[in-house]
Chains A and B, each alone.
Chain A
């Protein structure tokens, strides 16, 4: 992709993102209140969407070889346990990432 291709793609993503962030204010900025179904959804969706994003990050797992899923499995379990134990986001991210980098660079090459 060329430089102008990059630029157009980035502008498109910026436009989509700001539109998503602005839509609630454009629709319900005045006195109009969001309908009940929307408020119901907005209280439950964050839980489901976060799981979707985790699955999205792990979308390229493959079970044909150990290298295709063992590093992810180990580090996912590590982050979950570490986070349940310490509740420290930075500690969880840095430990998980460093262990993952070591595993994919040195063990499961």
Chain B
């Protein structure tokens, strides 16, 4: 107990700095959370399912999609596959955080659980302030972010319950978020072909497989296309090696 209280007094400045760091995400999570809560409530999901989702799933895009899955009576296997497709990008976030989270100790499970798009975007860069390059700082930023998300969802559910607002169209908030992130990525990217490849693959798969089952084929084709340059480069260098080999052999036999 004494240890804990001394830790809190020591960490006061750290919590404040973490709060400041989390501010850019606050507005976004409140807006998206309210949108999610209102939409979920207006589709008849009630009060606890949307809140439970924000606490234990904590993945904005999947939760929006989950409203359709739950109300549509989707099977458990299809639910799992859709969750995997929508959230597969989270595999990549962990790869860039391996070193940062390496010595996080007891905080590590929560840091991994709460690694959302927004938390990742806040923490992936190198902070100029060295005091902020600590698991405790990452932990508080992650926790503040989830508090915004859960509060937003709660506000949305309450708004849906008490204010008779027509929520039709509120789901566009998620579309708008992805478009905004895509625009940011486009303006900062050195190469544009991955984004173009992703768009074309997805549109083609949508046309071929229909609106409800094109995410998995899209993911597969995207991974194949994006790996292609790396794989062909390596094959070519290997072939160049073996060609030189066979040339040498051919040369010796003739």
Residue in B61, B62, B91, B169 whose CB lies within 8 Å of A100: B169
B73 A1 Cβ-Cβ under 8 A: yes
> For the complex, is B157 an interface residue (Cβ under 8 Å from A)?
no
Closest chain B residue, CB of each to CB of A90 = B27
B28 A93 Cβ-Cβ under 8 A: yes
A22 B112 Cβ-Cβ under 8 A: yes
B70 A1 Cβ-Cβ under 8 A: yes
B interface, size bucket: 35 or more
Residue in A38, A79, A94 whose CB lies within 8 Å of B31: A94
A:27-84 near B, CB below 8 Å:
28-29, 34, 36-42, 44-60, 71-72, 75-76, 79-80, 83-84
- Collect the chain B residues with CB atoms within 8 Å of residue A10's CB: 49, 52-53, 56-57, 66, 70
> For the complex, is B101 an interface residue (Cβ under 8 Å from A)?
yes
Residue in B80, B95, B176, B225 whose CB lies within 8 Å of A92: B176
CA separation between A23 and B94, bound complex, in Å? 8
A54 B179 Cβ-Cβ under 8 A: yes
> For the complex, is B231 an interface residue (Cβ under 8 Å from A)?
yes
Residue with the highest number of chain A CB atoms closer than 10 Å, among B198, B201, B203: B198
B180 A49 Cβ-Cβ under 8 A: no
B180 A89 Cβ-Cβ under 8 A: yes
- Collect the chain A residues with CB atoms within 8 Å of residue B134's CB: none
A35 to chain B: closest CB distance in Å? 10
- Collect the chain A residues with CB atoms within 8 Å of residue B174's CB: 57
A52 to chain B: closest CB distance in Å? 4
A25 B94 Cβ-Cβ under 8 A: yes
Residue in A8, A84, A89 whose CB lies within 8 Å of B76: A8
If A9-B69, A48-B198 are given as contacts, then 12 extra A-B residue pairs at C-beta distance below 8 Å, sorted by A number, are A5-B73, A17-B59, A17-B83, A20-B84, A36-B230, A41-B92, A42-B96, A44-B194, A45-B194, A45-B222, A80-B179, A89-B184
Give me 23 A-to-B residue pairs in the complex whose CB atoms sit less than 8 angstroms apart, sorted by A's number.
A1-B73, A9-B74, A16-B87, A17-B90, A24-B92, A24-B98, A25-B108, A25-B112, A36-B230, A41-B230, A42-B91, A47-B194, A48-B198, A48-B225, A52-B202, A52-B219, A53-B86, A56-B86, A87-B184, A90-B28, A96-B172, A96-B176, A105-B169
